[in-house]
Amino acid sequence: MNVIMLGPPGVGKGTQAMELSKICGIPQISTGDILRANVKQGTPLGLQAKAIMERGELLPDAVVIGIIAARLEEPDCESGFILDGFPRTVAQADALEEMLTRQGKRIDHVINVQAGDEVLTRRISGRRTCRSCGRMYHVEYDPPSSPGICDTCGGELYQRDDDREGTVQRRLEEYRAKTQPLIQYYSGRGLLREVDGEAPRETVLKSMRELLGV
Shortest gap between Cβ of 42 and ligand ADP (angstroms)?
17
Shortest gap between Cβ of 213 and ligand ADP (angstroms)?
25
Catalytic one of 36, 50, 127, 193: 127
Active site residue 88: yes
Q: Across the beta sheet with 127-130, what order do the strands follow?
A: 136-138, 127-130, 157-158
Residue 18 or 26 with smaller CB distance to ligand ADP: 18
Per-residue contact flags (x/-) with Zn ion for residues 145 to 184, judged by CB under 5 A = -----x-xx-x-----------------------------
In whole angstroms, how far apart are CA 103 and each of 54, 74, 95, 97, 155? 34, 12, 13, 10, 37
User: How many of the chain's residues bind Zn ion (CB under 5 A)?
Assistant: 8
- Where do contacts with ligand ADP occur on this chain (CB under 6 A)? 9-10, 14, 31-32, 35, 52-53, 56-59, 64, 85-86, 88, 92, 162, 171
Partner whose footprint covers residue 70, from Zn ion, ligand ADP, none (CB < 5 to 8 Å by kind) = none
Active site residue 123: no
Active site residue 209: no
d(CA 120, CA 51): 23
Residues 6+ apart with CB under 8 A from 44: none
Alpha-helical (H) ranges within 42-193 are 44-55, 61-72, 90-102, 117-125, 165-174, 181-187
- Residue 66: name the closest of 94, 95, 43 by CA: 95
Query: Residues with catalytic annotation?
Result: 13, 88, 127, 160, 171
